[in-house]
Amino acid sequence: MNTQAFTFELDAAGIALVTIDMPGRAMNVLNPTLMEPFAALVQRLESDDAIKGLVITSAKPTFIVGADIDQLTQIRTAEEAFKLCEDLKALLRRMEKCGKPVVAAINGTALGGGLELALACHARIALDDPKLKIGLPEVKLGLLPGGGGTQRVPRLIGIQKSFELITQGKELGAAKAKEMGLITDLAASREELIAKAKAWCAAHPKPAQPWDAKGFRIPGGDSKHPGVVQMLAIAPSMANAKAHGNYPAITHIMSCLFEGGLLDFDAACQVESRYFAACVVSQTSKNMIGTLWHQLNAIKKGQSRPKGVAQGRVKKVGILGAGMMGAGIAYVSAKAGIDVVLLDTTIENAEKGKAYSQGLLDKAISRGRSTADKRDALLAKIRPTTSYEDLQGCDLVIEAVFEDREIKAACTRQAEAVIAADAIYASNTSTLPITGLAQASQRPKNFIGLHFFSPVDKMPLVEIIVGQQTSDETLARGFDYVLQIGKTPIVVNDSRGFYTSRVFATYIMEGMAMLGEGVHPRSIEVAGLKAGMPMPPLALQDEVSLSLSLHIGEQTRKDLAAEGKAVPEHPAQAVLVNVGATHGRIGKKAGQGFYDYNGKDKALWPELTKLYPPKAQQPAQQELVDRLLYVQANEAARCFEEGVVRSVADTNIGSIFGWGFAPNQGGALQFINAVGAQRFVQRARELAAQYGPRFEPAAIIVKMAQEGGRFEDREAA
| Cα 62 off chain centre by | 21
CB atoms within 10 A of CB 9: 12
DSSP state of 587: B
Residues 83/49, Cβ–Cβ less than 8 Å: no
User: What distance separates the 2 farthest-apart alpha carbons in the chain?
Assistant: 87
CB atoms within 10 A of CB 192: 17
3-state secondary structure at position 452: strand
State how far the Cα of 507 lies from the Cα of 631, in Å rounded to an integer.
7
Peptide bond into 455 cis (omega under 30): yes
**Would you call 301 exposed, middle or buried from its count of C-beta atoms within 10 A (0-12, 13-18, 19+)?**
exposed
Measured in degrees and rounded to the nearest 5, phi and psi for residue 582 equal -60, -45
> Is the backbone of residue 284 left (phi > 0), alpha (psi -120 to 50) or beta?
alpha
Residues 501/430, Cβ–Cβ less than 8 Å: yes
State how far the Cα of 329 lies from the Cα of 505, in Å rounded to an integer.
23
CA-to-CA separations, 219 to 123, 216, 632, in angstroms, rounded: 18, 9, 47
- CB-based contacts of 563: which residues, under 8 Å, 6+ apart? none
- CB-based contacts of 449: which residues, under 8 Å, 6+ apart? 426, 427, 428, 429, 434, 437, 463, 464, 465, 466, 467, 494, 498
State how far the Cα of 227 lies from the Cα of 229, in Å rounded to an integer.
5
Per-residue exposure over 250-262, b if at least 16 CB sit within 10 Å of its own CB, e if not: bbbbbbbbbbbbe
**Would you call 346 exposed, middle or buried from its count of C-beta atoms within 10 A (0-12, 13-18, 19+)?**
exposed
Closest CA to 56 of 123, 3, 139, 11: 123
State how far the Cα of 130 lies from the Cα of 363, in Å rounded to an integer.
18
Helix (H) / strand (E) element for 575: namely: helix 572-576
Please pick, among 122, 244, 451, 570, the residue that the annotation labels catalytic: 451
Residues 421/397, Cβ–Cβ less than 8 Å: no
Helix (H) / strand (E) element for 20: namely: strand 15-20
CB atoms within 10 A of CB 46: 14
- CB-based contacts of 413: which residues, under 8 Å, 6+ apart? 440
For β-strands 595-598 and 601-604, DSSP reports them as: antiparallel
Measured in degrees and rounded to the nearest 5, phi and psi for residue 317 equal -120, 135
| Cα 589 off chain centre by | 27
Residues 423/393, Cβ–Cβ less than 8 Å: no
Residues 43/54, Cβ–Cβ less than 8 Å: no
E strands, 337-484, are: 339-343, 382-385, 396-399, 424-427, 447-452, 461-466
Q: Is 570 a catalytic residue?
A: no
Give residue 36's identity as a one-letter amino acid code: E
Name the residues annotated as catalytic.
451
